[in-house]
Amino acid sequence: MVDATSGSTSPATTKSSAGAGQGEIVIETRNLSKVYSDFWGREKVRALKSLDLDVRRGEIFGLLGPNGSGKTTTMKLLLGLLFPTSGEAFVLGKKATDVSKNERIGYLPEESYLYRFLNAEETLDFYGQLFDIPRAERKQRIKDLIEKVGLTGAKRRQLKEYSKGMTRRIGLAQALINKPELILLDEPTSGLDPIGTREMKDLILELKDQGTTVVMCSHLLADVQDVCDRIAILHRGELKELGRVDSLLKVSGITEMQVRDMTPAAEKEVKEVLLKHKANLVSIGQPTTTLEDLFLKIVREEDERPGRRVVAERK
Amino acid sequence: MVIETDVLTLGEWLFTRIPVGPIAVPRLLMWFVVMFVLFFVGMVVAFISSATRFGPIEGGRRVAVGLFEGLTDLFHTSPRRVAAMTWLAYKESIRRKVLWAFGIFILLLLFAGWFLDSSGSRPAEVYLNFVMFSTLCLVLVLAVVLSTFSLPKDISDRTIFTIVSKPVRRQEIVLGRMLGFTATGTVLLALMGAISFVFVLGGLNHDHRLRDSDLLPVTQRSDKDPILAGRTQKLTYGHNHEVKIYPGPDGKPAYGATDNSQGHFHEITVTQENGKNVYTVGPSQGLLMAREARYGKLTFRDRAGQDVPRGINVGNEWEYRSYIEGGTKAAAVWHFSDVNERDFPNGLPIELALRVFRTYKGRDIKEAILGSIVLRNPNTKRATKPLYFECREYFTDVKHIPREVYDSANQPLDLFRDIVHDGKVDVEISCAMPSQYFGMAQYDVYLRVVDHPFWLNFIKGYFGIWTRMVLVICFGVMFSTFLRGSVAMLATMAAIVGGLFMDFMQELAQGALGPMVAMKKIVTHQNEVLPLEPGMETTFLQTLDAGFLAILNITVWLLPDLGKFSFDEYVSHGFDVPLMLAPGVISHLLTMFAYLVPMFLVAHYAFRAREVAQ
């Protein structure tokens, strides 16, 4: 187990073999509440009501909910951008308002809240200087990160000239500059095209493999389902559901089988076996791949062999 | 030059007692007292606002926790992070095209060159006052605009989110901005200063034409006298000079000099070309100087010869100067100390800038009034014989007292053995013409110790502008931590205006009349002097006024007096800005920090209390 209070900048080396969701507690909230009030102290909005939550080391945790459910408020409370009205929040063993915890966390906001008059190198160098990283190592990390997010060609251009995708990528780079143990992603896949979304999801899974704990909040349910281990569903500031994705989504009572090379004769026999055991056949047919897989397959083929593709209308 | 505060050594200045109501507190201690009062008031305000939100116990707990955590955070300030935030603020301000201010400055200078009058009697003063004043205005405007909008913009753009989610302390963000904008301002100030310097030199520099036809040979001369004398031709600078040409070893005209008028003189070199004399008048000298002055303590003797602290008032409202009557025993006595051979090997150079008050015109109004100087040993009372001089208003006279002096019986004396006692000497000045008066203040007569290079003094003058710029920047950043950008700008501008008109505000604050009573009187056409009719309404208005005047008094106490930070007069009048005296470089630096520290602490706690994601 990595000592959470040592302040080291290397990520936890505990692999997910310990079982995501079984590790030490990285984030904990107790009765966390947030009420927005106006200047005179009158209540305006109860954004979060008594939230009890914990996030374990090495897991990918999703905060789900419609707009206004309090998921962004929760994230801001965890980062110290807001102060709780009552209750407590702890991140990596310290109070959420303790700025020193930020040494080991990373944050990717929904929009790019970066300074547009700096270029990519200056941006990463500036944020890197805010961490306790030796100079030579910082320079090396900047080089590696720029390459990793694919911005080597544009590293000298000011951020105000970047496209949305490029801005998201430099935002990612600054979130990873300190090799955080915990990374918070606010709507990481919103606004991205299918390729970008796939890359982001791959990156999240890669982070988990490295032992980083990931907390993401999103309203894109399919993306959350794809990557998250545990989720919390919020609605109007209250926690409505909390648990592992696989166990939450399991439909009990139904068994699924996928068979290759099934002949019509085999199919007939299977149906008889089921009838004999008094099982109810709900449906039988060809499974569908996802639209994402189809899209990515087409794009990949196009990259390999550019040219007009023959499209046959399928009924 | 007018110096209205006492000139003290640093040590004396730090412990000068400042009156506060019935008691007087040493200046250094005063700072701690004010800091403590501010802290106490801050705690009360924080407690009240916290208690209304969370109840007294929880509110009190939150205030205590916030205070303690704020203090521990201060100890975790990292120079590396502050340096990064400073760099960011610097880059942001450069990219905001603040060089426009610089461009305006150049334009201003170019136009001003046409209008500045260099033909007056004090061209250096005109030029220097202009460049320093225009630099100050531009730099202060720049400081306000830079400092007040930066943090609010960060918060509204939400770029602050990325910063606050990094391990940066709030005070590092604030300090980084203060330092970064100071850096930008300093660079711009240095550039403006360099260009101003060149502008002043160019504007003042001139020469004159001199030809053989302007000169006449001097008859009845001895060896040391010039062989030629005359006047230069008139030039557009509105003046010309008397000229004296001296012979070289071959008897021909070789070199010379003009007289010292309009505050300067020129050296002249003579060359021979085609058998004719060619006179080259060199650049003006003495216009730009930085005299180190040593001051003495001034007392007076009235017309009966008795020692009194002040002279008479001839009816002037401004009591900076007092007067002595001519033709009587009245005299102004300056008591100098620390007069030694090392500083004054050739004798004492005394400079006088006295006023004259005439009760009758004399032969003509421009005629100078005769005065006399006597140097006296304060111990043995032995004195030199009177040295007579002609006193003209608004004119600085230089009198050099040599080492060999004579007493009234024409016996020779040595200045340092017989007249100066233990470094002390008294300089007595009297007016010789009856019914005319000389006016003087303590700093009108001084010993001219040594001349320092002008460019160094110019830099010190710009240091005076720099301190005011830093104060304004810190005000701006402090206000922007808890106010919106435009409101912070208004508040900072109010602080500047209040700081520049501190004398007026003090008058208002110490007066008895307040705005509510005044308004009532204006509206009901009552006169200023008679009090209002007693009654409930009057009492109510007077209570409001008492509150207003209390607030005004506190503001006057807290706001820095920006005018007092200025060294402009020193530079334009040609006096060296002292380093170790007060007012001087170090005393102003200390005063600046005395304001910066509380401002930084207020900004630190205000910013800590702020939820940037609201």
User: What are A20-62's pLDDT values in tens digits?
Assistant: 456 789 999 999 999 888 777 677 888 899 999 999 999 999 9
The number of folded domains in chain A is: 1
Residue A113 has its nearest CB partner, among B73, B92, B158, at B158
Q: Which residues contact B330 (CB under 8 A, 6 or more apart)?
A: B300, B301, B302, B303, B311, B324, B430, B431
**Average pLDDT, rounded, for chain A:** 85
Q: Do A118 and B613 touch (CB under 8 A)?
A: no
Chain B positions touching A81 (Cβ under 8 A) are: 161, 164-165, 611-613
- Taking CA atoms, what residue in A is nearest to B95? A117
Amino acid at A303: D
Of A83, A107, A122, the CB nearest to B611: A83
Q: What are phi and psi of B367, to 5 degrees?
A: -65, 140
Chain A / chain B CB contacts < 8 angstroms: 77
Cβ distance of A111 and B158 shorter than 8 Å: yes
Output the DSSP codes for B400-461.
EE-SEEE-TT--EEEIIIII-BTTBEEEEEEE-STTEEEEE-GGGEEEEEEEEPHHHHHHHH
Q: Which residue of A has its CA nearest to B88?
A: A126
With an 8 Å Cβ cutoff, is A79 touching chain B?
yes
- Answer whether residue A196 is part of any domain: yes
Please report the pLDDT score of residue A9 as a whole number: 39
Distance CA B408, CA A71 (A): 99
Substitution target from B162, B484, B604, B607 for chain A, most A beta carbons within 10 A: B162
Partner B contacted by A107 (CB < 8 A): yes
CA distances to A247, B12, B281, B409, B586 from B270, rounded to whole Å, are: 108, 54, 9, 45, 47
Who among A81, A82, A103 is closest to B167 (CB)? A103
A131 part of contact set with chain B, CB < 8 Å: yes
Residues of B with CB under 8 A from a CB of A: 52-53, 73, 76, 80-81, 83-84, 87-88, 91-92, 95, 157-170, 611-614
CB atoms within 10 A of CB A66: 11
Identify whether A116 is part of a domain: yes
- A170 and chain B: CB distance < 8 Å anywhere? no
Nearest to B90 by CA among B203, B192, B185: B185
pLDDT exceeds 70 at position A11:
no
Q: Is residue A122 part of a domain?
A: yes
- Calpha distance A275→A5 (Å, rounded): 60
Query: Cα distance from A198 to chain B (closest Cα, Å)?
Result: 25
When scoring A100, A130, A184 by the number of chain B Cβ atoms within 10 A, the one with the most, hence best to mutate, is: A130
Let me know if residue A198 belongs to a domain.
yes
Angle, CA B219 vertex, CA B216 and CA B222 arms, to 5°:
120
CA distance B101 to B189: 11
The answer to whether A109 contacts B158, with C-beta atoms less than 8 Å apart, is yes
Distance CA B513, CA B587 (A): 35
CB contact under 8 A, A117 and B92: yes
pLDDT tens-digit readout, A117-134: 999 999 999 999 999 999
Of B84, B159, B170, the CB nearest to A129: B84
pLDDT of residue B606: 93
Whether omega before B434 lies within 30 degrees of 0, making that bond cis, reads: no
Query: In A, which residues are within 8 Å of B87 by CB distance?
Result: 126
Residue A82 is nearest to which of B91, B162, B611, comparing CB atoms? B611
SS3 per residue for B518-553: HHHHHHCCCCCCCCCCCCHHHHHHHHHHHHHHHHHH
**Closest CA of chain B from A168, distance in Å:** 13
Contact call for A131 and B166, based on CB within 8 A = yes
Tokens of B273: 């070309």
**Integer Cα distance of A91 and A84 in angstroms:** 14
Residue B336's pLDDT is what?
94
Best interface-test mutation with A: which of B165, B483, B611 has the largest number of A CBs within 10 A? B165
Residue A285 lies in a domain: no
pLDDT for the residue numbered A22: 64
The more confident residue out of A46 and A105 is: A105
Phi, psi angle pair for B252, to nearest 5°: -90, 160
* Token pair belonging to A185: 């992603």
Q: Give per-residue pLDDT as tens, B478-491.
A: 999 999 999 999 99
Complete domains list, chain B, with CATH: 77-203+453-608 (no CATH), 212-285 (no CATH), 290-452 (2.60.120)
Residue of chain A whose alpha carbon sits nearest to that of B86: A126
CA B202 and chain centroid, separation: 24
B84 closest CB neighbour out of A37, A117, A130? A130
Report chain A residues whose CB lies below 8 A from the CB of B52: 41
Å from B87 to nearest chain A CA? 9
Instruction: Supply the pLDDT for residue B240.
Output: 83
What is the nearest CA distance from A155 to chain B, expressed in angstroms? 18
Local structure of residue A31 (DSSP, 8 states) = E
Strand locations in B165-275 (E): 215-217, 228-231, 242-247, 253-258, 265-273
- In B, which residues are within 8 Å of A111 by CB distance? 158
A102 — pLDDT class (breaks 50, 70, 90): very high
The low-confidence residues of chain B, meaning pLDDT below 50, are: none
- The contacts of residue B429 (CB under 8 Å, 6+ apart) are B324, B331, B332, B333, B334, B352, B354, B371, B372, B373, B374, B438, B440, B445
Per-residue buried b or exposed e for A242-265, using 16+ beta carbons within 10 Å of the residue's own CB: eeebeeeeeeeeeeeeeeeeeeee
What value does the mean pLDDT take over residues A223-240?
89
Q: Is B164's CB within 8 Å of A111's CB?
A: no
The beta-strand segments (E) located in B107-193 are none
User: Does residue A197 register a pLDDT over 80?
Assistant: yes
Residue A102, domain CATH: 3.40.50.300
Task: Say if A292 falls within a structural domain.
Answer: no
Biggest CA pair distance of chain A: 78
Contacts of B170 in chain A (CB under 8 A): 99
pLDDT of residue B50: 87
Q: How confident is the model at residue A315 (pLDDT cuts 50, 70, 90)?
A: low
What is the rounded distance in angstroms from the CA atom of residue A216 to the CA atom of residue A233? Answer: 12
Nearest CB to B165 within list A36, A107, A114: A107
Specify the residue for token string 């951020």.
A159
In a domain, A79, yes or no: yes
Q: Is A189 on the interface with B (CB under 8 A)?
A: no
> Least CB-CB distance to A81: which of B52, B159, B613?
B613
Q: Quick check: A107 and B159 CB within 8 A?
A: no
Establish if A99 touches chain B: CB-CB under 8 angstroms: yes
Each residue of B534-560: pLDDT tens digit? 889 889 999 999 999 999 998 888 899
Nearest to B165 among A102, A114, A122 (CB): A102
The CA distance from B324 to B95, in Å, is 61
Contact A115/B at CB under 8 A: yes
Segments forming the whole domain that contains residue A32: 16-249
Cβ-based contacts of B611 with chain A (< 8 Å): 81-83
What do you get for the CA distance between the two ends of chain B, in Å?
54
- Considering only CB atoms, B167 lies closest to which of A41, A82, A100, namely A100
To the nearest whole angstrom, how far is the Cα of A115 from the nearest Cα of chain B? Answer: 7
Q: Are strands A213-218 and A60-64 parallel, antiparallel or unpaired?
A: parallel
Establish if A34 touches chain B: CB-CB under 8 angstroms: no
What is the rounded distance in angstroms from the CA atom of residue A204 to the CA atom of residue B595?
A: 50
Say if residues B464 and B568 touch (Cβ distance below 8 Å). yes
Pull the structure tokens for residue B560.
Answer: 């820095």
- A10 CB within 8 Å of a chain B CB: no
User: Is A20 a domain residue?
Assistant: yes
ipTM of the complex: 0.81
Other residues' Cβ atoms within 10 Å of the Cβ of residue B19: 8
Closest residue on chain A to B611 (Cα): A82
Band (pLDDT 50/70/90 cuts) for residue A282 is confident
List the single residue in A37, A101, A109 with the smallest CB-CB distance to B161: A109
DSSP B249-311: TTSSEEEEEE--BTTBEEEEEEEEETTEEEEEEEEEESSS-EEEEEE-EEEEE-TTS-EESS-
Q: Which of B160, B161, B167 sits opposite A130 (nearest CB)?
A: B167
- The number of CA neighbours under 13 Å toward the Cβ of A308 is 3
